[in-house]
Structure 1
Amino acid sequence: MHLDPISLKLFISVLEQGTIARAAEREHIAAAAVSKRISELEAQLKTRLLVRTNKGIRPTPAGIALSAMARRVLRELDEISLRMKEYSDGARGLVRVCANISAITQFLPQDIKSFTNAYPNIHVDLEEQVTPAIIKSITENVADIGIFSDTPLDQGIETLPYREDTLALIVPAGHSLAAKAGFRFVDALDYEFIGLHTGSAINRIVSRAADELKRTIKLKVQVTGFDALCFMVNSELGIGVLPLAIAKRYSKMFGIRILPIKESWARRKILIGVRSFESLPAAARLFVEHLSPGGDKAPNAGKTPLNVQ
C-alpha cells in the first residue's frame, strides 16, 4: 500500500476546516477533487474515516487515529526536505581534503577552525599526503580537494592559489655555515642533508635546485615530519630545508640556526586543486571559497564566484 502524502495533507485539512468546501478553498483545489482523494484514501485503508453530516465533517475513530499518524508523517516529510536542503545548500555535509605537511602545519588549522565555526554542520576530513598522492586522490575522487605545492600538472586538475611560503636552511648551532657571510645555497651542498620522506615537495624542489647547479644532494637520513627533521639536525646528523615559518617555530625549541635561502626557487606557491569546481559538492565548494585569497570568511562566502587559473 502506497499512501499519497497529498491525500493525507488534504485529509488533515478537512478535519481542521470542518468541511470539504473550506478545505478545498484553503488548499486551492476543487472540492470534488478533495472529496475524491478522501474516498480513495478510505478505499485504500478499507475503513471509513469521515462521517458527513449536514453540519459538516467529523472523524470516525479510525479517522482520529489516522490524523495523529498523518500529522507525524507529514512533519517527518517536512524534516526530510529541510535536512536535504541543508545538504544541497552546503550548510551540512562532509568535505574530504588531502594536504601536504607544509599546508597542514602552517595554514590549515586556523582556516579549518574559522570554517567550522561558520559552518558547524560541515565536517572536514583532513588527511596528510605527499603531493603525488594528493593529485592521485583528486583524480580518483578519493578526495574532494587537494592542497599542495605548485608542481607541473598533466592530469587536468583545476587549481586556485592558496598561500605562499619561503624555504630556509636549518643547521646545528655552531655550524660553519652559520658564520659564513653571504650564504648561498650552493655552499650547503658540501654537507650531508636530512631529507623528508620520498615524494615530498621540498625534497623535489631541493633536488631540482642542486641539479641546476650540477651538484647532487648528499642525503644521509629521511624522516616523516618537520619535528623529526629538527631533532636530527639538532643532533648534528646533517642539515635540512623546511619552510621559514616552521623553522622559526622550532628554532628556540631545538637550538638550531636558520639561514634564509635567497634564491628564487625557495619561494613557493601552495595551490588548491580539484577535479572540477563546477561539479564540487556544495559543502566542498564553500570550503574552497573560504580558503581562497580574499574570500569571505563569513557564512555567505558561497556567493563569491570562483576564478580558475
Structure 2
Amino acid sequence: MRYELTDLRLFLEIAQARSLTAGAAALFTTPSAASYRLKNLEQALGTPLFVRTPRGMELTPAGDAVLLHVREMFEGIERMQGEVSRFISGLKGHVRLVANSSSLNGFVTQTLGRFLVAYPGIDAEVEERQSEDIPAAVLAREADIGIFAGDTQVQGLRVQPYATERLVLVTPREHALAAQRSIRLGAALDFDFVCMSRSSSNFLFLRDTAARHGRALRTRLHVHGFEAVLALVAAGVGVALVPSSVLAHRQQAQQVQVVELDEPWALRKLHLAVRADARFPNFIDACLKFLLDDPVVAATRAPPP
C-alpha cells in the first residue's frame, strides 16, 4: 500500500471543504490533477472515500475512518514541527480556532492579533460558528481551540472558563425604547432590527430566540461587522442585539443608547475547549496561554466586588 503525504493532505482538504475544486485550490493544483490523485489514493486503499451528491463530496464510512487517522497524523506532524522549532530560530506553526460571534468580536480577535505579532512564525485560521456546534467541531479535530457561550454535554473535552459578557440592546438616541433602563426582548421585537450577516452566530441566536417568542424578526438589513451595526443604529435605521464587549473602544458606541435586557440568557459565560487527549505543539500551548491570560479577558472572570 503506497501513497504520498500530498495525497492525504488533498483528501483532508476535500473532506473539510466537501468540494474537490476547493480542495484542489487549497493545494494550488487543478481539479483534474486532484481527481487523479484522489483516484490513486482510493485504489491504494482499496475502497471509495467519497460519494458525489448535490450537496458536494460526502465521505463514505471508510472515508470517515480515514479522516480520523489523517487528522491525527497531521496533528502529529504539527507537534513534530513544534518540537523541532525549539532548536532553530523562532516558532513555526498553524493554529486553528473556532469561536462564536460575540467572543470573536469582543475578545478573541484582539488577543490573537497580539499573539501573532509576538510570534511571527505562527499563522492562524479562525472560523465563526454557532456556540452549540463548536464543542463537537473541536472533538472532531476540525479546530485546535474552541470558544463558545454556555455549557456543553460533549464528552472528551477539557473545558475551562474564558470570559463573561452580557448581551444588550442598542437603540438610536431618540428611539422609543431609549429611555428604558431595561426591557424584555419581546418588547423590542415590535421594532426594526439591524443584524449581522445571515450566517453569523449573533443573528442566528437572535432569530431563534425570537422564534421561541412566537415572533418573526423584523430585519431591515444584514451587515458584516459590529462597527457597521452600531453606525446604522446610530443613524436611526433600527435597533440591534450586541454583546457589551464590542462596545468598548468603538467610537460608534458613543452615538447609541444601551438598554439592558432583563433576560436570564443575556448574561453569558464563555468557555474555552480543547480535546482532553490533545498533545499540542508548544506554539498552540503558547496561544492558549495568551488567550486565557489576556488582562481584559481575565478581568471579566473576576467576581464583582
Assess same fold via TM > 0.5: yes
Residue 119 of structure 2: aligned partner = 120
Q: 1:227 to 1:177 in 2, by over 3 A?
A: same
Residue 129 of structure 1: aligned partner = 128
Contact 1:205 1:265 in 2 (8 A): no
Q: 1:113 to 1:82 in 2, by over 3 A?
A: closer
Residue 232 of structure 1: aligned partner = 232
Q: For 2:211 and 2:170, locate their aligned partners in 1 and report how far apart those are by CA, in whole Å.
A: 20
Residue 271 of structure 2: aligned partner = 271
Residue 205 of structure 2: aligned partner = 205
Q: For 1:82 and 1:241, locate their aligned partners in 2 and report how far apart those are by CA, in whole Å.
A: 41
User: SS at 2:178's partner residue?
Assistant: helix
Residue 188 of structure 1: aligned partner = 188
Runs of 4+ deviating beyond 6 Å: 80-83
Q: For 2:120 and 2:275, locate their aligned partners in 1 and report how far apart those are by CA, in whole Å.
A: 24
Residue type of the alignment partner of 1:194:
V
How far the C-alpha of 1:176 sits from its partner, in A, is 0.7
Q: For 1:262 and 1:270, locate their aligned partners in 2 and report how far apart those are by CA, in whole Å.
A: 19
Q: For 1:81 and 1:190, locate their aligned partners in 2 and report how far apart those are by CA, in whole Å.
A: 55
User: SS at 2:210's partner residue?
Assistant: helix
Residue type of the alignment partner of 1:167:
L
Q: For 1:255 and 1:228, locate their aligned partners in 2 and report how far apart those are by CA, in whole Å.
A: 13
Residue 282 of structure 2: aligned partner = 282
Q: For 2:285 and 2:190, locate their aligned partners in 1 and report how far apart those are by CA, in whole Å.
A: 47
| Structure 2: 5+ residue stretches without partners | 1-79, 296-305
Q: For 1:219 and 1:150, locate their aligned partners in 2 and report how far apart those are by CA, in whole Å.
A: 26
Q: 1:214 to 1:199 in 2, by over 3 A?
A: same
Q: TM-score by structure 2 length?
A: 0.56
Contact 1:210 1:216 in 2 (8 A): yes
Q: TM-score by structure 1 length?
A: 0.55
Residue 5 of structure 1: aligned partner = none
Provide the aligned C-alpha RMSD in A.
3.8
Aligned residue runs from structure 1 range 34-45, under 5 A: none
Residue 23 of structure 1: aligned partner = none
Aligned length: 214
Residue 257 of structure 1: aligned partner = 257
Residue 77 of structure 2: aligned partner = none
Contact 2:99 2:147 in 1 (8 A): yes
Q: For 1:193 and 1:87, locate their aligned partners in 2 and report how far apart those are by CA, in whole Å.
A: 54
Residue 143 of structure 1: aligned partner = 143
Q: 1:112 to 1:182 in 2, by over 3 A?
A: closer
Residue 165 of structure 2: aligned partner = 165
Residue type of the alignment partner of 1:258:
V
Residue type of the alignment partner of 2:122:
H
User: SS at 1:112's partner residue?
Assistant: helix
How far the C-alpha of 1:212 sits from its partner, in A, is 4.5
User: SS at 1:179's partner residue?
Assistant: coil
Contact 1:135 1:146 in 2 (8 A): yes
Residue type of the alignment partner of 2:234:
N
Q: 1:234 to 1:155 in 2, by over 3 A?
A: farther
Q: For 1:123 and 1:204, locate their aligned partners in 2 and report how far apart those are by CA, in whole Å.
A: 32
Q: Deviations over 1:152-204 (max 9, x none)?
A: 56585543321111111111120011124653332211112122223433234
Q: For 2:102 and 2:157, locate their aligned partners in 1 and report how far apart those are by CA, in whole Å.
A: 20
How far the C-alpha of 1:226 sits from its partner, in A, is 0.7
Residue type of the alignment partner of 1:131:
Q
Contact 2:135 2:154 in 1 (8 A): no
Q: 1:218 to 1:157 in 2, by over 3 A?
A: farther
User: SS at 2:146's partner residue?
Assistant: strand
Q: Give the structure with higher Rg (CA).
A: 1
Contact 1:157 1:275 in 2 (8 A): yes
Contact 2:180 2:259 in 1 (8 A): no
Q: 1:92 to 1:81 in 2, by over 3 A?
A: closer
Which region of structure 1 is more displaced relative to structure 2, 141-150 or 246-255?
A: 246-255
Q: For 1:136 and 1:267, locate their aligned partners in 2 and report how far apart those are by CA, in whole Å.
A: 23
Residue type of the alignment partner of 2:226:
F
User: SS at 1:273's partner residue?
Assistant: strand
